Amino acid sequence: MKLLIKGGNLIGYDKPADILMDGGKVKTIAYDIVEQCDKVIDAKGKYVLPGLIDMHVHLREPGFEHKENIYTGAKAAAKGGFTSVCCMPNTRPVCDNESVVIYIKDQAAKADFCRVFPIGAITKGSQGKELAEIGCMKEAGIVGISDDGNPVENSQIMRLALEYAADFGVLVISHCEDKNLVADGIANEGYNATLAGLRGNTKAAEEVIVAREICLAETLNTSVHIAHVSTAGSVEMIRHAKKRGVKVTCETCPHYFTLEDSLLSSYDTNIKVNPPIRTEKDRLAIIEGIKDGTIDCIVTDHAPHHEDEKKIEFQYASNGISGLETSFALSYTYLVKAGHISLAKLVELMSINPARALKLPFEGLKEGCTDITIVDIDSPYTIDVAKFLSKGKNSPFNGYEVYGKALYTIRNEKIINCEVL
Amino acid sequence: MGRKDLLGLKELDASELINILDVAREMKKILAQGVKRVPHLQNKSMVTLFYENSTRTRMSFELAGKFLSASVSNVVVRNSSVQKGESLIDTGKTLDALMTDVIVIRHNCSGAPHLLAKNVKASVLNAGDGMNEHPTQALLDMFTMREKLGEIKGLKVAIVGDIKHSRVARSNIIGLSKLGADVYISAPGTLIPYDIEKMGAKVCPLDKAVEGANVVMGLRMQLERQQSGLIPSRKEYGRFYGLTDERMTKAAKNALVMHPGPLNRGVELTSEVADCGQSVINEQVTNGVAVRMAVLFLLTRGGRKI
């Protein structure tokens, strides 16, 4: 099949160009391609980007299908403009063996809304005791390992995971949280939590583990990826580590550069997330980290929940934000449109860097490229959670006016019109 | 009040606080005359919905409602709505359907009254939520200070004890600051919440807090604080942070001794201090009824504002 994407704006091109895809791969990028094609997409006035990648989502299947399943999660991802997502292993059963990996990949293939790359557990059952069968899971298709949500407490186990995973070329993704330090904290420890009478979760709980992972990666000369960085201190430590040549990469989420903790006064459970929404100082530090390259990737940490798990007391409410359908818009609006970074930089954060960190075969929009996302950055619209395709309507961004809407995703010969999913 | 609910003192300005305290003074006059039934809340129904055990606060609200001729019912919920199976919002909607005018709620979770208030037609009155606020306790404390010492502006108030977990401390810090008192707090470092000074209280050593204080308020030390490692023992706590006769000599002449109750004698204050002539602990209880009558009246009075 031949596909012509006509007249779109491309990063690195000073005027609109055409893209010819043949057999699911970009064959030619040029001005004014004349070719008989099976399908033509008019991209005039739109931006044609390499397919967006979200390397940190929770699709909840198997085990928590009332919150989300692979079908609805992948569909939401496609609507958000993602051609690939990586799903975390905190399912039930935990994705700690090849059977679950294969199951997830099969379900994703059936849904066929985007590529789904499973992340395996670091330890069996994410219990933090024995390493999971990382090699077998790698053969089955994982691209990374993480005990997300149930972080590895024992430093020796983390050391072993870093050493062992390196041989298999599997990225270790660390959810940095010292659960003892968190104690019973449910909101960022600071003035606003004190004022609202909410038990504090100190930033040190994140930062001591970030420091640990940097020490381990530096000592062992292995790679480590820090998940959902939320504090100024974490950004600073990672910045310095990178300067020393430590093989550390990291990600943050839109809610960490758009929200700050004075929102706690509303007790709105949609802002309850882990790590918690931090202070304005942290928010600004996250933006600085994005600007100077300390932060490599933007991910959603898409954490859909059922309404019954959110329309309750703040203390009892589940952590998480349903983020797949707002990520690009929030990132575009609050980073690019706000003047902090260029669209090209955003594409690095949301496509090129995640692919590089995970060694995925996507390297930007060029000849041979298979995955493309076409976006409209000019038309403002209002986020409406009622229209989410994700089962999780838990978003604090309902009613936000944003720019940046995905129009099409293309994976090989699969073309998805994001607006009619 | 021009408000549907009383969720905390955070939402009220100084003039609203003064108005409540003025109305409470009138209510206390009624009580002082031995009148235990006035018609202010005739045709109104009030429900107490307590997710935490309480004797004194629930009784105080119940009596306040009854003295005002409201029909009063009590729902006692063990532990939490989650464990019981019914959500807080569903319980609230049930009470709405039962034509409730005022729900007095105590809950172990901060913000629970706010969640309820957003989802019911009834007025919601916060009788203590988690570590957040206990507005009527702070109002009765301020009422007592005002009654005994005159103006609150310029008073030095020392609050000693588990500030971190105390909704009484938070409401008092907020309310007293709004009325111009200087609030000093003292506790072991493990029981001082982060950035509390931004709320207007000064953190200082116990002797400095008590020195020249017009009011010294002790807070209850829960046994769980020892179990979770926040203090080594209640004995050690009593030695370094307990209010004793000797420590009280540093306070201003005729300084009031206050405590929200129930007391741990020998821990946060000695019996000598609790029972001394300056102790107003029992008067606080009486004043609590007057203050709650005032709040109930103001919340249910249609068309006019506090």
Fold annotation for B135-284: Rossmann fold (3.40.50)
- Tell me the per-residue pLDDT of A298-330, one tens digit each, with 9 for 90 and over: 999 999 999 999 999 999 999 999 999 999 999
Q: Which of B277, B220, B211, B267 is nearest to B244 (CA)?
A: B267
* Contact between residue A248 and residue A199 where contact means Cβ atoms under 8 Å apart: no
Q: What is the dihedral of CA A284, A285, A289, A290, to 10 degrees?
A: -20
Residue A55 pLDDT exceeds 50: yes
| Per-chain mean pLDDT for chain A | 97
pLDDT of B304 reads 39
Residues B254-279, mean pLDDT to the nearest whole number: 94
A151 Cβ partners below 8 Å, 6+ apart? A128, A174, A175, A176, A177, A179, A209
A197 vs B contacts (CB less than 8 Å): 110-111, 129-133, 167, 170
Q: What is the pTM (predicted TM-score) of this model? A: 0.95
Residues A35-62, mean pLDDT to the nearest whole number: 97
First to last CA, chain A: 22
- Nearest 5°: phi and psi at A24? 85, 10
DSSP A54-119: EEEE---TTT-TTT--HHHHHHHHHHTTEEEEEE-S-SSS-S-SHHHHHHHHHHHHHH-SSEEEEE
pLDDT of B81 reads 53
B80 vs A contacts (CB less than 8 Å): 316
- Tell me the per-residue pLDDT of B293-303, one tens digit each, with 9 for 90 and over: 999 999 998 64
Nearest CA in chain B to A183: B228
> With an 8 Å Cβ cutoff, are B111 and A193 in contact?
no
CA angle A178, A180, A181 (to 5 degrees): 70
The confidence band for B222, taking pLDDT boundaries of 50, 70 and 90, is confident
> With an 8 Å Cβ cutoff, are B167 and A197 in contact?
yes
Residue A20 pLDDT exceeds 70: yes
Active-site residue A301, yes or no? yes
What does the alpha-carbon distance between residue B36 and residue B38 come to, in Å, rounded to a whole number? 7
> With an 8 Å Cβ cutoff, are B88 and A189 in contact?
no
- Tell me the per-residue pLDDT of A231-249, one tens digit each, with 9 for 90 and over: 999 999 999 999 999 999 9
Residues B218-227, mean pLDDT to the nearest whole number: 86
Nearest CA in chain B to A311: B89
Domain residue spans of chain B = 14-133+285-300, 135-284
pLDDT of B84 reads 63
Identical fold between B14-133+285-300 and B135-284? yes
C-alpha pair distances (Å), A360 with each of A82, A119, B164, B188:
14, 13, 48, 53
User: Of A301, A371, A376, A384, which one is the catalytic site residue?
Assistant: A301
> With an 8 Å Cβ cutoff, are B130 and A197 in contact?
yes
> With an 8 Å Cβ cutoff, are A198 and B195 in contact?
no
Residues of A with CB under 8 A from a CB of B: 183, 189-191, 193-200, 202, 265-267, 308, 311-316
What does the alpha-carbon distance between residue A111 and residue B271 come to, in Å, rounded to a whole number? 72
pLDDT of B76 reads 78
Nearest to A190 among B81, B87, B195 (CB): B195
The enclosing H or E element of A25 equals strand A25-30
All structural domains of chain A: 2-46+373-420 (2.30.40.10), 52-365 (3.20.20.140)
B291 Cβ partners below 8 Å, 6+ apart? B20, B21, B24, B27, B136, B139, B140, B143
CA A311 to mean position of chain CA atoms? 25
What does the alpha-carbon distance between residue A78 and residue A416 come to, in Å, rounded to a whole number? 8
- If you count residue pairs, one on A and one on B, with CB atoms under 8 Å apart, how many are there? 74
Nearest CA in chain A to B200: A195
What CATH superfamily is the domain B14-133+285-300? Aspartate/ornithine carbamoyltransferase (3.40.50.1370)
At B183, is the secondary structure helix, strand, or coil?
A: strand
Q: Which of A161, A177, A152 is nearest to A222 (CA)?
A: A161
